[in-house]
Amino acid sequence: MILPNTPLFNSKSDAEFRVRMIQYIKDTYSDILGADVKLLDLPNGLELMQSRAREMLFEATDGQVDLRPAEERQIAA
C-alpha cells in the first residue's frame, strides 16, 4: 500500500502507525462503518475491520468481487 508523505503516516514505530491508522479510519469512515467502527477498539481491530470490509464489498457487489481469503471462501461455500 502506498501512503501519502504526510505527518499522519510518518510514524516512528509500528505501534504509533497502528494508533494513527485506527484514528484515521474512525475519523474518515465512521459514517460508512456505523456500529462496526467499534471493532477498531479491540486488540485485533484492524484485522477485524479488514475482514468486515471484505464482507461488505462482497455483499455490495452480490458476490462479483470476492477479496476474502481462500479459507473464508471455503467455509462460506
pLDDT average, residue stretch 15-30? 89
Answering whether pTM is above 0.75, one says no
Mean pLDDT of the residues in the chain: 84
Q: What is the DSSP string of the chain?
A: ----SSTTT--SSHHHHHHHHHHHHHHHHHHHHGGGGGGGGSTTHHHHHHHHHHHHHHHHTTTS---S-HHHHHHH-
pLDDT tens, position by position, 25-55: 999 999 988 999 999 999 999 999 988 888 8
